[in-house]
A and B are shown apart, each in its own frame.
Chain A
Amino acid sequence: MKKRVFAWLTLALALVMAVGSVTFLGACVHEDGSFGTCHWASRALLGIGILLAAQSGIALATGHAGAYLCMAFTAALGLLLPGTLIRLCGMATMHCRAVMQPAMTLLNAGILILALAGFLLETRRAKRGTP
């Protein structure tokens, strides 16, 4: 448990991201029932969240430094997704801009940092030869 603390943390954050993207952190549905780009951005974030959770699982099970590195890249993608790669609502007061974007940015940034920390830790462990 203690040895893979970073993977546990990223797993928790990734689950918050995945569950949040379809609940309290997601984008709202338009008044007329149509979907905007922000809705599809939140769907993409659901995918990223699931992917990150799976990668955390792999890191937990194997402790491979590479799993952490993959996670870092995925989180970087998640960081760019809302707002940069997919344009969100035009009004900053909308839920997607006021809640989804900052929350997802924080979650992805957190996962990115934790994944890099885990990567460094595991490469150092591998060098020293301790399992």
Chain B
Amino acid sequence: MKSLPVKNLIRKPGRTAALMLLTAFLALAVFGGSLVVLSLRQGLNSLEARLGADIIVVPSEAQSKVSFQNMFLQGTTGAFYMDAENLKRVREIEGVEKAAPQIFLASLKADCCSVKIQVIGFDPQADFTVQPWIAQSYARELGEMDVVVGCKVEAGVGEILRIYDQRCKVVGRLAATGTGLDTAVYCNLDTIRLLLQAAEEKGVSHKVTSDSAADQVSAIYVKVKVGYDVGRVNTAIQGHTRKASAVRTRSMITDVSDSLAGISRTVTGLIGAVWVLAFLILLIAFAMIIRERRREFAVLRLAGMSRRMLSGLILRETALCSLLGGVLGVCAAALLAFPFATLIETALGLPYLTPDLRTVALLAAAAVAAAGIVGSLASAGAAWRLSRVDPGTILREGA
């Protein structure tokens, strides 16, 4: 009698809904929680990939690490400058394979919105960090006043972005990284110098260490030759540069992964707590429901159902109900996690990149399956106890 469990579920909608809600919470917790943890991990990987350098040299007055890290992690704008002389000095240090300068500029509000945009100028000849990434969406070289925008900047290819009243043409959009870089705009050094000049004319003073805009850089990305110790090179750079500090990217990534580990632990703890609690509630709920339905089950035994068939019926019914609840929970979690991904990212202040569809689908399937298994497990004990009792004993109880 295949349809009996289905009929039992449909024709007792209140009971079914209550049980489904419980398992929905389970699935919501496991799917939503794991999704956040996975997204953070993905964000960390992407940050690692995007940093691409071993050492980053920034002006020491820029409170080096903090503001620089915030730029990467939270997309706050940063504008700090040092003498371009430092670039030459870094290149002379033994063990430095490549050194690429970048110049930062914080726009006033762009015409789109009230937020400042971080403009990052890089040197196409020397760069080894930004270009491989840009190449994924724009294969040609950036011309004057050409910009490539991060995925969170709403500007289509071909559109004009006004920065300090200069018309910049959007030639490409970058893939999401989940980091602060998603809110930035990229251009070459010539363009950013023009923009700096325009800013100066508008009366926005950027701290310039020398007279000419051509003689300043904001950051130097350094790649260390194979076989050289990054720590040593770092110390050497520290000693040879003026008013600058060298930051090992590894330490930045370690900082991020530390806070990620903290969040992971908290989320895992929460998931665990929800599971233990929900499992206990389910255990009690099934024990009560099966107790209440003892007579119904005794009647089925009397009509010729064997113990096995009866246990099967109960298990099928609870599994079906739990699976449906699991689907419901996953849907609810998806409805919260995906539309509000940006909000979660901003709130956590860490790189956050939603995994690809396949991973998400697998995670959803696992969450639904887990809900189904837990629901069935919670009812298994009560079903087994019930099947051990002679139906005659049950019928005597409440005739």
Interface positions of A (Cβ within 8 A of B) = 28, 30-32, 34, 36, 38, 87-94, 97-99, 101-103, 105-106
Contact = CB atoms under 8 A, between A and B. Distances in A.
A91 B77 CA distance: 13
Contacts of A91: 112-113, 115, 117, 152-154, 183
Instruction: Give the one of B113, B117, B152, B154 with max A CB within 10 A.
Output: B113
Contacts of B112: 89-91
B52 to A, nearest CB: 23
B276 interface: no
A38 to B, nearest CB: 7
Contact of A106 (B115, B339, B346): B339
Contact of A98 (B110, B154, B155, B340): B340
Given A89-B154, A92-B183, 10 more contacts: A32-B109, A36-B113, A89-B113, A90-B112, A90-B154, A91-B112, A91-B113, A91-B153, A97-B154, A103-B339
30 contacts: A30-B114, A31-B114, A32-B109, A32-B114, A36-B113, A38-B113, A88-B154, A89-B112, A89-B113, A89-B115, A90-B110, A90-B112, A90-B154, A90-B155, A91-B112, A91-B115, A91-B154, A91-B183, A93-B75, A93-B342, A93-B345, A97-B342, A98-B340, A98-B342, A101-B339, A102-B339, A102-B340, A103-B339, A103-B340, A105-B339
Nearest to B112: A90
B175 interface: no
Interface in B276-324: none
Contacts of A87: 154
Contact of B183 (A31, A36, A93): A93
Contacts of B340: 98-99, 102-103
Contacts of B204: none
A111 to B, nearest CB: 14
A92 B342 contact: yes
A32 B345 CA distance: 26
Interface string B97-117: 000000000000110111101
A9 to B, nearest CB: 15
B343 interface: yes
A31 B77 CA distance: 15
A90 B111 CA distance: 9
Closest 3 CB pairs of A and B: A90-B112, A102-B339, A92-B152
Given A31-B114, A36-B113, A36-B114, A90 B153 contact: yes
Contacts of B115: 89-91, 93-94
Interface residues of B, number: 22
At the interface, is chain A mostly helix, strand, loop or mixed? loop
B74 to A, nearest CB: 9
A93 B339 contact: no
B294 to A, nearest CB: 31
Contact of B335 (A30, A36, A99, A106): A106
Given A89-B115, A90-B153, A94-B114, A31 B343 contact: no
Nearest to B343: A98
Nearest to A35: B114
A90 B114 CA distance: 9
Contacts of B113: 30, 36, 38, 89-91, 94
Contacts of B151: 92
B31 to A, nearest CB: 17
Contacts of A97: 154, 342
A106 B151 CA distance: 23
Given A91-B152, A93-B152, A99 B117 contact: no
Contacts of A92: 151-154, 182-183, 342
A66 B27 CA distance: 38
B33 to A, nearest CB: 20
B335 A98 contact: no
A121 to B, nearest CB: 15
Contact of B343 (A34, A89, A99, A106): A99
Contacts of A90: 110, 112-113, 115, 153-155
Nearest to A104: B339
Interface string B131-159: 00000000000000000000111110000
Contacts of B110: 90
Contacts of B154: 87-92, 97
Contacts of B182: 92
A56 B283 CA distance: 40
B207 to A, nearest CB: 21
Interface string B318-349: 00000000000000000100011011011000
A75 to B, nearest CB: 16
